[in-house]
Amino acid sequence: MTEQEKSDLIFASSFYLFESLPASFAYWNEDILNAWIQDHAWQPFEHWSGEDIWIEIEKLADSVRKYIKEKSKHDIR
């Protein structure tokens, strides 16, 4: 995982968790990550599994990065 990907995931996590992922999350195994996410789920997501919230965090992080890249291409022109 690149530093940019890690930063994007930390940013995206703030939309689903009441506390953003710490930088050390990249070194956690899947079980620890899912448990931490579930324990820190923002109220609308408190009944979701950690795995399902993680999927949404990844999708948002990826979408935002794609948007930024596309916007950068158009701004250069």
Q: Can you give the pLDDT of all 77 residues of the chain as single tens digits?
A: 999 999 999 999 999 999 999 999 999 999 999 999 999 999 999 999 999 999 999 999 999 999 999 988 877 65
Q: Per the domain annotation, does 41 fall within a domain?
A: yes
User: Tokens 């990065």 correspond to what residue?
Assistant: 65
Give dist(CA 71, CA 77) in Å, integer. Answer: 10
Cα separations in angstroms, 47 against 8, 44, 74: 24, 8, 40
The predicted-structure confidence for 11-27, as pLDDT tens digits, reads as follows 999 999 999 999 999 99
Structural domain contains residue 38 = yes
Structural domain including 47 reads: 3-72
Q: Give me Rg for the CA atoms of the chain.
A: 14
How many domains would you assign to the chain? 1
Inside any domain, residue 77: no
